[in-house]
Amino acid sequence: MLGGFEPVTAGELTVRGAPVKGPGPDRGIIFQEFALYPWRTVADNVTWALEIQGRPKAERHEVADRLLAMVGLTRFRDHYPAELSGGMKQRVAIARTLAYDPAILLMDEPFGALDAQNRELMQEELQLIWEKSGEQSGEQSGNQTRKTVLFISHDIDEAVYLADRVIVFTARPGKVKADIRIDLPRPRAIDVKKTAPYLEYRNRAWDLLREEVLRTREQER
């Protein structure tokens, strides 16, 4: 609904005061599937939206250089998706979304298809990309304006590590069960997962979810 693909069934949904009536360039969506064009190079995938908008080739080239440097894929700009690992493909997908500079990133379990090791590495890299995107915006606006990210995840550790707020939902029907404010320092290194405050947040979220899992099982019997 926030992406504009489904209508709201009740209430009102707005972004910066304007009602959401459909998809728009102010919201960039990154799915679990990489959805890259296999016949286009990495650089051409990144700049696809700019090409559709009719941006000059020189501008597209500059954007590709900047974003591929940001996500650590400069050496692979002329490769094709089939030549990349899963984590690399997802970094291309993130760069492609950042290319048209949306105000909000909607990330729907973007690391769900990765194995445990690469998933944790991508969580670290997303933190770095988010920090760098704020620095890039700050160069243009005079201050740091990092992207707002709405991140869907079934992984409690991932949610607590990445988020400033963790919204826990109930089982059917889905309603907001808790809004947990994550007061962990930023920049947030992976070592924060070893700290007592992190574990407290993680255990709180799990206790809330466990109640829902047990309730659902009881209803299904």
Residue 13 structure tokens? 């949904």
User: What per-residue confidence (pLDDT) applies to 144?
Assistant: 45
Which ranges of the chain does DSSP label H, i.e. alpha helix?
Answer: 42-46, 48-52, 57-70, 86-99, 116-141, 156-162, 196-220
Contact 88, 38 (CB under 8 A): no
- Measuring CA to CA, how many Å separate 85 from each of 57, 130, 132, 140, 187? 28, 21, 23, 33, 27
pLDDT one digit per residue (tens) for the chain, 221 residues: 999 999 988 889 998 888 999 998 899 999 888 789 999 999 999 999 999 999 999 999 999 999 999 888 999 999 999 999 988 998 999 999 989 888 899 999 988 878 888 888 888 888 888 887 766 555 544 444 578 899 999 999 999 999 999 999 998 888 999 999 999 998 888 899 999 999 999 999 999 999 888 888 877 77
Say whether 148 sits in a helix, a strand or coil: strand
- Residue 62's pLDDT is what? 94
Q: What is the pLDDT of residue 141?
A: 43
> Residue 56: is the preceding peptide bond cis (ω within 30°)?
no
Structure confidence at residue 137 (pLDDT) = 54
Burial 155-168 (b: 16+ CB within 10 A, else e): bbbbbbbbbeebeb
Q: Which domains does the chain have, with CATH numbers?
A: 14-220 (3.40.50.300)
